[in-house]
Amino acid sequence: MHLKRKKCDKIYLSEGAEAPGEMGKKRLEMRKRVCLIHTGGTIGMAGTEHGYAPKKGFMQSILSGIPELNSEEIPGFDLIEYDPLLDSSNISVAEWVKIAQDIKDRYDQYDGFVILHGTDTMAYTASALSFMLEGLAKPVILTGSQIPLCEIRNDARDNLITSLIIAGNCRVPEVCLFFGNELYRGNRVTKVSSDELIAFDSPNYPALGEAGVRIVIRDTAVRKAGETLKLSKFEPKQIAVLKIFPGIQFEIFENILTENLKGIVFEAFGTGNIPESGDALHRVLEKAEKNGTVIVVCTQCLRGSAMIGTYAASLSFARAGAVSGYDMTVEAAVTKLYYLLSMNYDLETVKKLMGNDLRGEMSPPQSGEGTA
């Protein structure tokens, strides 16, 4: 889908309605600036007779009614509103690339970036951006809400205001997700609730920061800043995700295993176990290996790692040349596959790098600093 770009309008300046004095001018010159990108989602929806729905220009109008945004504690920001605004369930590779390109195009103009996004696929977008944007030296923070900003009682205001403060004033040079007073590494999060205000969790990596009485950043958990931003665009690739369950009939998946399927992520039991179901499983894995499909094994468990070979029940994966996903989320595994396949590496290189830590997305048993 082609998305039209709306002009970047300056929404707020710290001097308010009156012209600033000399001290005010100096403060303005020193004030950090953030680029606020509104892609859609619950946070900016308006109430209609058919329920909440995106509305063009509504975000700008509602932001103008939040007096806290005129505070000197809030960095100045410009708003980019996508047209059309999208429910996050409709966001895919093309939209990930557009967001990344918009950040790259404006990278030198801002101290940080905040992306307003629907919660359903926010973890996927955060993971995707972490792989596309290599060498970040500035914060890129995704946030949204479970209740729209237009409602009197909402979680949107705190998520938005705190994200702006962190993006403009904190040294967190990576793609993050802020929600429910927690700042997470973007490629470590997963959505854990559809209706609670604490909607996300980072089960295998500590939060990068917390917003309590004070905003505290855990410097030891944050990645080092890069020197030069490099954008690596994703290409559309056929990738599948298969969740294992008791009694699964593997033969029904044989038809999807064509030469066009470049990667498959198995959500296996425990540490990477799979039920032995005779010839059907063998044929599926053999066909995938023969077609050059990259097989990645993640765990269904919220916490812990998938390590092929821990139990005999993972032997079929080992024989098929599958890659352990360790403690990666499925969101990270899928977007990492998109990234590596888009780089046009040979099969062995893709498999090797899938098992390496590239952007802080995983903790392999003996992790070195991965680069790609």
Q: What pLDDT does residue 29 have?
A: 54
DSSP 90: G
What is the rounded distance in angstroms from the CA atom of residue 197 to the CA atom of residue 239?
A: 31
Mean pLDDT of 341-365: 96
**Is residue 119 within 8 Å of residue 42, measured between CB atoms?**
yes
Q: What is the pLDDT of residues 120-154, one digit of tens each?
A: 999 999 999 999 999 999 999 999 999 999 999 99
User: What is the spatial distance between Cα 10 and Cα 168, in angstroms, rounded to a whole number?
Assistant: 16
Provide the token pair at 49.
């007779």
* CB burial readout 301-327, b (16+ within 10 A) else e: beeebbbbeeeebbebbeebebbbbbb
- Residue 355 buriedness (CB in 10 A; 0-12 / 13-18 / 19+): middle
pLDDT tens track for 154-194: 999 999 999 999 999 999 999 999 999 999 999 999 999 99
Active-site entry in 39, 42, 119, 293: 42
Rounded Cα–Cα distance for residues 187 and 129 (Å): 9
Give the span between the Cα atoms of 366 and 364, in whole angstroms.
6
4-231 has CATH 3.40.50.1170 classification = yes
As a whole number, mean pLDDT of residues 233-248 equals 96
Provide the mean pLDDT of the chain.
90
Q: What is the CATH number of domain 238-354?
A: 3.40.50.40
Same fold, 4-231 and 238-354: yes
Q: Please give the share of the chain, as a percent, with pLDDT higher than 90.
A: 81
Give 3-state DSSP helix, strand, coil % of the chain, rounded to 5.
35, 25, 45
The number of angstroms, rounded, from the C-alpha of 86 to the middle of its chain's C-alpha atoms is 16
What are the domain boundaries of the chain?
Answer: 4-231, 238-354
Average pLDDT score over residue span 224-252: 96
Structure tokens at 166: 């962190």
Residue 42 bears catalytic tag: yes
pLDDT tens digits, 277-322: 778 888 999 999 999 999 999 999 999 999 998 898 899 999 999 9
